[in-house]
Chain A
Amino acid sequence: MKRVVITGQGTINSLGTSVAQTQEAMREGRCGIGPLEMRDVDRLSIQIGGQVKGYDPEAVFNRQQIVLYDRFTQFTLLSAREAIAQSGLTFVGDLAARSGVVLGNSGGGMNTLDDNYRTVYEDGKNRVHPFVVPKLMNNAAASHVSMEFNLKGPTFTVATACASSNHAMGQAFMFIRSGMAEVMVTGGSESMLCFGGVKAWEGLRVMSKDACRPFSANRNGMVQGEGAAVFVFEEYEHAKARRADIIAEVIGFAMTSDAADIVMPSKQNAARTMTLAMQDARINPEEVGYINAHGTGTAANDKTECAAVADAFGHHANDLMISSTKSMHGHLIGGTGAVELLACTMALRDGIIAPTIGYEEADPECALDVVPNVAREVEVDVVLSNAFAFGGLNAVLALRRI
């Protein structure tokens, strides 16, 4: 089996327009969640989110591109540009043929859908722009990345709600590990912060009106975010031969289904997935120093996740750190695992553990070291990243310092 390493990373999200800015915000425990800016916001009962602000698409894309790139595609391309530039790779010949793209995304071009439904339903028009379909399809981002960088290997999009990015990165890992691909550009993106997107989430009554406070006893729900993060996964010998700067090694992955409930999480299966990821990585629970939690800030997720960690790790659950960076960037749904992997690479590379901010009150049902409010300097060798999606679909990645 081949070894898989990360040689590039890029992002845009409410914390910053680069990895450096985002990791700095995570180190400082800064919050990217604020008042939403969008049409008809006064008709929303939830008016906060982790929105990418001060972003002008026309400054980075030309008119011909903007008519084809929904906001989630724009975020993906900007992240991919940063990641691939850092990797130093150019894709030609055999390498291009053996390199692909697998991205996580849940809603596709929600802004495009919202705008065009308005055109036909609210404005009563009988005609929409000819590129609505290629703009909103949720493989658009993966395809545009493959086109811009000449990636001709396996290329597709994974849609498993909040686990999309972790599933995508798990696929990328398995493609390289098995020898099917040399390099995979992977991660995910989401841009659901439009009127219809927020309105749909309001319906479930799980959203907070004021803040995302994972693991805190006074938590009152999740907060949506938007953005993307993209990574370059590369076969280890290939990266070593070209003396690439290796950020971290991906050592294991597991995915399971609860087969039980469409929205409620399962402690038993969350624990099972973490255990399977550790088995896949051939590590003992005691080696794991940090877990980037799914930590949505809902009543149901956080207590279930903490109980699952206690089950999977036994006594070691009290010695490891677990934090949820959703408290800072919000829940990016299909893109969330990708942005959260930046907290993992920061932990492994810089020895800095991103905090869970907004933590105000201890909850006996979440009695783990959740790194409350302030980042911590601790060297860790192995980390896990959790994602437990609606639909009962779980995906856990394991990474190691290199």
Chain B
Amino acid sequence: MPDSIKDKVIAIIAEQAVLEPSDVATTSTLEDLGIDSLGLVESIFAIEEAFDIQVPFNANAPQESDFDISSVASIVTAVEGLVREQTAS
């Protein structure tokens, strides 16, 4: 199950970056992948829609949001956490 969350998140990010999912390394930052602030907001929207979750993210203070966007791996971890909370509630 965690793998499928990871795969879905990577697919969303890959689509935004116009890359093949196989070319998205989990260690990459969004900047490495050429995703700008608009691309980020669009990716978060796609993630919310795909997993039916609310992502706490304010573009004015990304570093203060509970949602860690520093790398693909951190985004996957954050989404896994939100999906867990969603299932628990």
From known contacts A203-B45, A205-B44, infer whether A263 and B38 are also in contact, taking CB-CB under 8 Å: yes
**Considering only CB atoms, which chain B residue lies closest to A297 in the complex?**
B60
Give residues 244-299 of A contacting B (CB, 8 Å).
Answer: 262-264, 298-299
- Which A residues are CB-close (under 8 A) to B64? 220
Query: CB within 8 A of A299: which of B44, B45, B54, B61?
Result: B61
Within 8 Å of chain B (Cβ to Cβ): is A204? yes
Q: Is A25 an interface residue (CB 8 A)?
A: no
Whether B86 is near chain A, meaning CB under 8 Å from some CB there, is: no
Q: Check if B51 is an interface residue, CB within 8 A of chain A.
A: no
Residue of A45, A204, A219 near B59 (CB, 8 A) is A204
Q: Which residues from B are CB-within-8-Å of A221? A: 58-60
Contact A205 B57 (CB under 8 A): yes
1/0 contact trace for B46-60 toward A, CB 8 Å? 000000001001111
Task: Tally A residues with Cβ within 8 Å of B.
Answer: 15
- Among B44, B58, B61, chain A packs the most CB atoms within 10 A around the CB of B58
Closest chain A residue to B44, Cβ basis: A205
**Whole-angstrom distance between the Cβ of A298 and the nearest chain B Cβ:** 5
Query: Which residue, A45, A205, A208, has most C-beta atoms of chain B within 10 A?
Result: A205
CB-based contact A205/B41 at 8 Å:
yes
Interface residues on chain B, size class: 10 to 19
CB distance from B77 to the nearest CB of A (A): 20
Contact A206 B59 (CB under 8 A): yes
Nearest Cβ distance between residue A397 and chain B, in whole angstroms? 27
Assuming the A-B contacts A203-B45, A205-B44, are A262 and B59 also in contact, with contact meaning beta carbons closer than 8 angstroms in the complex?
Answer: no
- Give the contacting residue for A220; candidates B41, B45, B54, B58; CB below 8 A: B58
- Residues B33-87 near A (CB distance < 8 A): 37-38, 41, 44-45, 54, 57-61, 64
A122 to chain B, nearest CB (A): 21
Residue-wise interface mask of A (145-158) relative to B, using a CB-CB cutoff of 8 A (1 in contact, 0 not): 00000000000000
A264 contacts across to B, CB distance below 8 A: 37
Asked if A204 contacts B61 (CB within 8 A), the reply is no
Among residues of A, the one whose C-beta sits closest to the C-beta of B61 is A220
Q: Is A299 a contact partner of B38 (Cβ separation < 8 A)?
A: no
User: Would B41 and A204 count as touching, CB distance under 8 A?
Assistant: yes
Which A residues, 208 to 247, have Cβ-Cβ distances below 8 Å to chain B?
208, 219-221
User: Are B60's CB and A299's CB within 8 A?
Assistant: yes
Q: Which of A168-226 contact B (CB under 8 A)?
A: 203-206, 208, 219-221
Beta-carbon nearest neighbor of A203 in chain B: B45
In the docked arrangement, what's the CA distance between A145 and B30, Å? 50
Give Cα A299 to B37, complex, Å: 12
Query: B57 CB to closest chain A CB, in angstroms?
Result: 6
Task: Please measure, in the bound complex, the distance between the C-alpha atom of A299 and the C-alpha atom of B63, giving whole angstroms.
Answer: 12
Residues of B within 8 A of A (CB): 37-38, 41, 44-45, 54, 57-61, 64
Known pairs A206-B59, A208-B58, A220-B60. 12 more at Cβ < 8 A?
A203-B45, A204-B41, A204-B59, A205-B41, A205-B44, A206-B58, A219-B60, A221-B58, A263-B37, A298-B60, A299-B61, A300-B37
Q: List 8 A-B contacts (CB under 8 A).
A: A205-B44, A205-B57, A206-B58, A208-B58, A220-B64, A221-B58, A298-B59, A299-B61
Q: Which 5 A-B pairs have the closest CB atoms?
A: A299-B60, A205-B59, A221-B60, A220-B60, A206-B59
